[in-house]
Structure 1
Amino acid sequence: MTLNRRNFLYQLGLGVAGVGLVSALPATLPAAPLRSFQLPRSLPEAQGISSVGLLDFVNAVETANLNLHSLMVVRRGMVVAEGWWAPYAPALKHTLYSLSKSFTSSAIGLAVAEKRLTVEDKVVSFFPNEVPATISPTLAAMRVKDLLTMSTGHDKDSTPSLRNDPDGNWVKAFLALPVEHEPGTFFVYNSGATYMLSAIVQKLTGQTVLDYLKPRLFDPLGIEGADWETDPKGIDTGGWGLRVRTEDIAKFGQLYLQKGMWNGKPLLPAAWIADATKFQIQSKGGSRPKEENDWLQGYGYQFWRCRNGAFRGDGAYGQFCIVLPEKDTVIAITSETGNMQGILDEVWNHILPAIQPEGVAAKAPVPLKQKLAALALPLPTGRAMSPTVAKVSGKPYQIADNALNIKKVLLAFQNGSCVCTLQDDQGEHRVVCGLGSWKQGDTDLSTAPLKLVPTSVPKETRTKIAASGAWSDENTFTMTWRFIETAHYENVICRFSGDELKLEFQKSLAVLTNSKDNRPVLEGKQLAAVSQGK
């Protein structure tokens, strides 16, 4: 993973793993619709891809613990393989992190096509009321194109300065920053630059990027239910915060592969797509030499160039839209990994050589079908029950004063599940955990502590969750709470000793980086003579 650019940073009835078994379908028959429009499905071999290569890819990413959440491979416009690692599922949206940038870029392309602006327009021209009293020559020179190519002239990512602005005026905060380099000459991955593209769209159209894209791009592609995190002023964050489904990512890539054409109609100008996906400026990132490094192949308009003639949009922890024009192939991936280059390496090692120009021998891809049907993330390890259950179930624990303001904790074990109740100054929050399985539901617990950037979707008060728990030893009960429309999860570890409880939170980003979660360990004592659930 390129850390220098990441600093800012129900099941649908298709099987237990939430997978569409395209390999079980006739060669050109569309699968049953999930939404208003699906890409057609096909057998891999019918579209010139070896199912053995696809199977090798899935096995390789699992062996390397790259923690994929979903995969979709599209060849010649047809989905030839798709899978979701349970409890992730086809109908769930997934946070895109910086893959959002490619959608923001597309909004600029549409606005350019509508002659609302040009890429040569100066950034300061859009915000006369937000510019500093003295405009430096470098700020005055900054163009929309420089925002698109991450060459604003800033020495470092502007995002922290935006988020820390006391007035919540991110536009003004961006324009107030020193511009140390001549715009267009110095690449720095800068999510604040993408935010400014979003702000420009909203300034010109009176609509958020999400609302602007809906009739122009999302509706024609059949992308439904998308949402986007916003800044304190209601401007979409642009550089992160979009949530769509895995197939929506694939459709977006297919649109770019088809040079903006969709169902015989142009949605985006081909000239814009050519400019957006070609080498515009030398990029930075990664630790390997250029010939082995997909972060040194150049940057376009919020798209990365790749090895093997490909380009991609991508987001932190492995959200990918990979387009291989020479192979007529699109690959959509969601995940939570610390090794994004590792995922790309396995694409080049296994999927790329599986693509044949003249097709491959037709055969029933049974092993691939079985593998995709069984995809699942690991459950917490341990036993479903412990002798300690009788001593703690339904017994509330009074928690000592803590920074999270959690007052009481109660675990109730019954009917193959555990209901965990946390009471804080906002009320009670319940999570139902399966024992040896995932229990799906929703929660009003905040996901902000788990994310790179603590921005939120407007008016979202509940989050989809899948939870499971197990006794790792007689006195330790560990729950895994997966927030399944994000990339993240957390482990909640309850250690019992006599009438005492210690509860520790361990977010997945801390697990990924082998670091300590910054939330306190909660300590409490069992309250006697209190009825269950109080």
Structure 2
Amino acid sequence: MNQEKVKTFENIIKKNYPNICGVVVMKDNKIVYENYENKDMLTMTAPLKYKEPPYVDYFTGSDYLKFSLDMLGGDNEIGTFSYAPLIGPDVLSGIIKNSTNQSVLEFATKNLFEPLGILPPENIVFKNADEQFLFNQSTDKNNWVADSKNLNTAGWGLALSTLDMAKIGQLYLNGGVYNCKRIVSTNWVKESTSVHSHLNELMYGYLWWILDEYSFAALGDGGNTIYVDTKNNIIVSISALFVPNSKEKIKLIKQYIKPAFED
């Protein structure tokens, strides 16, 4: 396979054929090329039927997947960045459940938690808003939020220790390998940490914020952060309680934490 020619036709497709979603090439009875575009859920560029995220309606609903699917559409064009951590990722969660015939928790336990040495969480279903509030303020939970149909959330609601978060960062720093065992493909790591959409000057991959050529981060409520610096081989994970308008932690990491460990 001529990589230069592959890159040429990939660029032509992106420029002149934006409606193409996938290309597969087979030769001698083998797949020699497989690539998919327009994964709008991963890049936060799916059109939505609201201007402000309907958090209350979402949290009080019993079926996160149906709610998320009902929110798709609206006046925005496909490809316009609209940060919606409660919508797109939950659709992905439904895809995983339906395509693997396993619960998302079962799939993640086998393919992520156990290989990384992370104690698998237990499902938790909220009966009311008070239970959700207590979960957000807790420091000792080992749970993963699910709806009444046992579908796990994908954009929030997973309680991990700070060390567990660092393990995920290390997995990505190693290109998908942890403890000499491949867990995620190198191509997926590269693809998910490449720029696919923008929010003004901010760059976004597949559920990762791309900070510069060498670093990317997962950022969550309250400042929960997994920061990966591939140039200096540094991982910084930060866990934090949820508070409104919390300061983001990238400045803290870059200016104070990371320099303390650089040569």
Measured against aligned partners, the alpha-carbon deviations of 1:75-133 in whole angstroms (never above 9, x if no partner) come to xxxxxxxxxxxxxxxxxxxxxxxxxxxxxxxxxxxxxxxxxxx9849xxxxxxxxxxxx
Partner of 1:310: 215
Aligned position for 2:63: 169
Instruction: Give 1:214's aligned residue.
Output: 109
Shift of 1:270: 0.7
- How has the CA–CA distance of structure 1 residues 203 and 158 changed in structure 2, closer, same or farther, with 3 Å as cutoff? farther
CA contact (8 A) 2:68 2:90 kept: no
Structure 2 residue matching 1:317: 3-state secondary structure: helix
* Equivalent residue runs for 1:64-213 within 5 Å: 120=36, 145-154=39-48, 155-156=50-51, 157=53, 160-163=56-59, 165=61, 168-177=62-71, 178-183=73-78, 185-190=79-84, 191-213=86-108
The residue type equivalent to 1:340 in the other structure is K
Letter paired with 2:252: E
Residue 331 of structure 1 aligns to a residue whose secondary structure is strand
The Cα shift of 1:161 comes to 4.8
| TM superposition shift of 1:243 | 1.1
2: distance between equivalents of 1:230 and 1:180? 30
Q: What amino acid is aligned across from residue 98 of structure 2 in structure 1?
A: K
**Higher Cα radius of gyration:** 1
Tell me how far apart the structure 1 counterparts of residues 256 and 107 of structure 2 sit (CA, whole Å).
38
CA-atom RMSD in angstroms: 2.5
Deviation at 1:315, TM superposition (A): 1.0
Residue 352 of structure 1 pairs with residue 258 of structure 2: yes
1:25 counterpart residue number: none
- 1:180–1:158 distance in 2 versus 1, CA, 3 Å: farther
How far off is 1:213 after superposition?
A: 1.2
Give per-residue Cα distances to partners, 1:299-340, cap 9 Å, x unaligned.
111111125731111210011110011110000111235433
| CA distance in 1: counterparts of 2:213 and 2:100, whole angstroms | 38
In 2, the alpha carbon distance for the partners of 1:278 and 1:262 equals: 21
Using a 3 Å threshold, how does the CA distance of structure 1 residues 308 and 280 change in structure 2: closer, same or farther? closer
Give the secondary structure class of the aligned counterpart of 1:200. Answer: helix
Give, as a single letter, the amino acid of the residue that structure 2 aligns with 1:186.
T
What's the TM-score once normalised by structure 1's chain length? 0.36
Q: Which whole-Å CA distance do the structure 2 matches of 1:255 and 1:171 have between them?
A: 28
> What's the counterpart of residue 339 of structure 1?
246
Cα distance change on mapping 1:237 and 1:181 into 2, 3 Å: same
Distance 1:321 1:233, change over 3 A: same
Within 5 A, what are the aligned runs for 1:259-270? 259-270=175-186
Deviation at 1:225?
A: 3.7
More strand by share: 1
Paired with 2:80 and 2:148, the residues of 1 have a C-alpha distance of 29
Letter in 2 for 1:319: N
Match of residue 232 from structure 1: 148
8 Å Cα contact 1:153-1:186 kept in structure 2: yes
Give CA deviations for 1:343-381 in whole Å, capped at 9, x if unaligned.
32121112333343xx4xxxxxxxxxxxxxxxxxxxxxx
Q: State the alpha-carbon separation in 1 of the partners of residues 237 and 210 from structure 2.
A: 16
CA 1:161–1:180: 2 relative to 1, 3 Å: farther
Q: Summarize the Cα distance change of 1:160–1:195 in structure 2 as closer, same or farther, 3 Å threshold.
A: farther
**Residue 225 of structure 2 aligns to a residue in which SS?**
strand
Tell me the residue number matched to 1:442: none
8 Å Cα contact 1:225-1:244 kept in structure 2: no
1:190-233 CA distance string (max 9 Å, x none): 12111111111111112222210111111111001423101121
Q: Which residue type is aligned with residue 250 of structure 1?
A: A
Going from structure 1 to structure 2, the CA distance change for 1:119 and 1:302 (only over 3 Å counts) comes to farther
Structure 1: 4+ residue segments shifted above 6 A: none
The answer as to whether partners of 2:42 and 2:88 remain within 8 angstroms in 1 is yes
For 1:197 and 1:348, the matched residues in 2 are separated by 32
Q: Which residue of 2 aligns with 1:324?
A: 229
Corresponding position: 1:274 with 2:190: yes
Q: Take 1:280 and 1:303, find their aligned partners in 2: how far apart are those partners? A: 10
Query: Higher helix share goes to which structure?
Result: 2
Q: Greater relative contact order (Cα 8 A, min sep 6): structure 1 or 2?
A: 1
1:151-174 C-alpha deviation (Å, 9 max, x unpaired): 111254365554455xx3333333
The residue matched to 2:217 in structure 1 has which SS? strand
What is the DSSP-based 3-state SS (H/G/I as helix, E as strand, rest coil) of the residue aligned with 2:165? helix
Question: AA paired with 2:93?
Answer: S
CA contact (8 A) 1:327 1:355 kept: no
Q: In the aligned structure 2, how far is the partner of 1:353 from the partner of 1:163?
A: 40
8 Å CA contact 1:158–1:174 kept in 2: the answer is no
CA 1:238–1:149 in 2, change beyond 3 Å: closer, same or farther?
same
User: Percent same amino acid among aligned pairs?
Assistant: 29
- Structure 2 unaligned blocks of 5 or more: 1-33, 122-142
Give the aligned length: 204
Q: Indicate the residue corresponding to 1:423 in structure 2.
A: none
Q: SS state of the match for residue 99, structure 2?
A: helix
In 2, are the aligned partners of 1:161 and 1:174 still within 8 Å (CA)? no
